[in-house]
Amino acid sequence: DAGVIQSPRHEVTEMGQEVTLRCKPISGHNSLFWYRQTMMRGLELLIYFNNNVPIDDSGMPEDRFSAKMPNASFSTLKIQPSEPRDSAVYFCASSQGGGSYNEQFFGPGTRLTVL
C-alpha cells in the first residue's frame, strides 16, 4: 500500500493567489482528516470527512478555506485568496471507521509558503 498521498509536497505562492492541496487516502479508509501544523499553534484539525461527508469543519479558519471530498479516493483543500499567515505544513490523514477512535495514517504533508 502506498499510504496517504499528498500533492504538491511544496508550494510557494504569492499573497492573493488560489492554492489547492490534494490528498488520496489509503484505499478502504472511510475517514479523512485535514490538519494544519505551525510552530505557534501546533497541530490543528481543520475538517474531517466520514464516507465523503463533512462531519466537523469547526476548525476551518475562515471562509477563505474550503474542502471537498467528491469520492472516496480524493479530497482537496482550497485557500482563496491566500495570505502569508496561511504558511504552514498541511497534513492529510485517513483512518478506518468513523470518528476518531482508530489509528490515523498521515500523509507526508504539503509545506505551503505564502509570500
Partner 1 sequence: GENVEQHPSTLSVQEGDSAVIKCTYSDSASNYFPWYKQELGKRPQLIIDIRSNVGEKKDQRIAVTLNKTAKHFSLHITETQPEDSAVYFCAAPGIGGADGLTFGKGTHLIIQP
Q: 15-54 mask for partner 1 (x: CB under 8 A)? A: ------------------x--------xxxx--x------
Determine the interface stretch with partner 1 among 15-23, 60-68, 76-84, 97-105 (rule: CB under 8 A). 97-105
Residues 25 and 64: their CA atoms lie apart, in Å, by 24
Q: Assess 91 for contact with partner 1 (CB under 8 A).
A: yes
Query: Of 11, 12, 14, 51, nearest to 31 (Cα)?
Result: 51
Q: How far is the CB of 43 from partner 1 (least distance, A)?
A: 4
CB 81: neighbour CB atoms within 10 A?
A: 14
Residue showing cell 498541511: 90
Binds partner 1 (CB under 8 A): choice among 52, 56, 73, 87: 56
